[in-house]
Structure 1
Amino acid sequence: MNEALRARLAANETAYGMWVTSEAAAVTEVAAVLGLDWICIDMEHGYLNYKDIQSHLAAARGSQLSVFVRPPTQALEPIKRALDVGAHGLIVPLINNAAEVESVRQHIYYPPIGRRGIGGERSVTWGLELENYVKSANDELMFLPMIETQEAYDNLDSILSVAQTEAIFLGPGDMSASRGAVGEWEGPGVAEINLDILERAGARGIHAGLVARSTEEAITRRDQGFRMVSLGSDIGLMIRQIRSMATELGRGPRLHSWF
């Protein structure tokens, strides 16, 4: 798990990914064929369930694509179930302090690091590869805390100090909302906060990622030093392409989309 992604990050190269919000496993299959480095299946928002996650993971099998899940909460149940169906790691939302990072770590990792229970589900090939998986999972799984509130920014140094934190993911929209700019992608001061987080994480050897909403923004984020850049969401990318073609065909866009 995550070998190709970690190799790219170790080479200080930007790894490009995509947010997955549709249940269609073909989305993940195409992402793998096109050479994306990672995807994140979003359970925090929308309607995806564990059966959908399993289908996406099956579509990625045999490729070098890292498949992350964003669980709906930091609770034990959604975390362990996402891992049991085979997720390669988690991007966990609304982390506010180091204590929450430690709590989530307990759910993700087997002893002695955490207290994840051993099951016989898809992650261990229904028990056929249990020994191999259990021995390697603590080293191979990736956990990315999302830094997306003012409280998390205030506690950034302690969050970054937690052992085994190798990457974080930024949420500019929620950061803006937590500072009173609800509905803005980068509200007042958030652009500067993003770059400050990037710099402070980088000083500790921790990679930072975020979502780009256009090719131009992806280039900017790459050049700024973000090493995990989402090109958008599956539906958002479809909207972006249709909007672009419709505009050129004289059918102007009706609505604005974040992603």
Structure 2
Amino acid sequence: MTTPRTLLRQPGRYQVGTFIKTASPHVVEVLGTSRMDFAVLDAEHAPLDRAALDLMMLAGRAAGLPLLVRIPDKNPATILSVLDMGAAGLLVPHVDSVADAEAVVRHAKFRGGQRGFSGSPRFSGYGTLGMKQALTAGDQALVICQIEGPEAVAAAAGIAAVPGVDGLFIGRADLALAMGLEDSKHPDVSSATDRCIDAALKAGKLAGVFTASLAERDAYAAKGVNWFVFGSDQSLLRQSADASAHPAE
């Protein structure tokens, strides 16, 4: 199976995935038959507990679909649990400072970090990897920091420069709210988003955004964005159902 870093870092090609918000390994299996590059299990905004995440991670392995997890908090135990399950990476909400980013990396990495080690979980082949191999495998997991407030925008270049941070993902909805706005496409939000994209690209990191339309995806791709989360399993299902139904009366 392609490793997370080689899959998500192909020069000259942006990567596209989607959020999964339904606690079903079958959804993962179905998406594994698509041309999606990855998916993100949304444990922040969807009812995905540890048992559900574990089953869905099994499905991801079987389907050959790398699964990241948007974790609900930055608790070290949460980070450890998700990575031990074999997640391809973390999407970490509300990383507002360099210190936040450094703490996340510290808890996510073995070498140079403080991640607790056991050779028995899925990430290390259930004890089949030697310790050095397991450490290398574990440290392959991506760490992508969400930028969701003005303080994070101001610190974006510093966050992107933190060793072990693999990318920035701009959460435009929360960013708008933090700026006192109710429109994620407001010019001030767009300007802040562009600053973060520029910071990520200058650092040689992934620059990610959420998008719900092909036109918006293409517009951001033209700006250099190379990591897209396109809609969710719920929105893709609903839109396809709507498109297949009778015309609106």
TM-score normalised by length of structure 1: 0.88
SS of 1:143's equivalent in the other structure is: strand
Q: Which amino acid aligns with 2:231?
A: G
Which range is displaced more, 27-36 or 120-129? 120-129
SS of 1:202's equivalent in the other structure is: helix
* Aligned 8 A contact 2:123 2:137 in 1: no
Give unmatched runs, 5+ long, in structure 1. 253-259
SS of 2:208's equivalent in the other structure is: strand
SS of 1:56's equivalent in the other structure is: helix
CA distance in 2, matches of 1:130, 1:91: 28
Residue equivalent to 2:231: 232
Which range is displaced more, 84-93 or 237-246? 237-246
Mapped pair 1:251 → 2:212: no
Q: Which amino acid aligns with 1:242?
A: A
- Deviation of the 1:188 alpha carbon: 4.2
Which range is displaced more, 196-205 or 123-132? 123-132
TM-score normalised by length of structure 2: 0.91
* Aligned 8 A contact 1:211 1:232 in 2: yes
Residue equivalent to 2:209: 210
SS of 1:208's equivalent in the other structure is: strand
CA distance in 2, matches of 1:8, 1:123: 18
- Deviation of the 1:142 alpha carbon: 0.6
SS of 2:44's equivalent in the other structure is: coil
Count how many residue pairs are aligned between Structure 1 and Structure 2.
247
CA distance in 2, matches of 1:147, 1:63: 30
Mapping of residues 72-221 of structure 1, within 5 Å: 72-111=72-111, 113-119=112-118, 120-129=120-129, 131=131, 132-138=133-139, 140-182=140-182, 184-221=183-220
- Deviation of the 1:37 alpha carbon: 0.7
SS of 2:57's equivalent in the other structure is: helix
Q: Which amino acid aligns with 1:126?
A: Y
CA distance in 2, matches of 1:250, 1:213: 22
SS of 2:159's equivalent in the other structure is: helix
Give unmatched runs, 5+ long, in structure 2. none
C-alpha RMSD of the superposition:
1.9
- Deviation of the 1:109 alpha carbon: 0.6
SS of 1:86's equivalent in the other structure is: coil
* Aligned 8 A contact 2:101 2:165 in 1: no
SS of 1:10's equivalent in the other structure is: coil
* Aligned 8 A contact 2:160 2:167 in 1: no
- Deviation of the 1:5 alpha carbon: 5.7
- Deviation of the 1:118 alpha carbon: 1.1
* Aligned 8 A contact 2:105 2:164 in 1: no
For residues 4-52 of structure 1, give each alpha carbon's deviation from its aligned partner in whole angstroms, at most 9, with x where no partner exists.
6635533121101010111111111122211211111011112101111
Mapped pair 1:22 → 2:22: yes
* Aligned 8 A contact 1:212 1:221 in 2: no
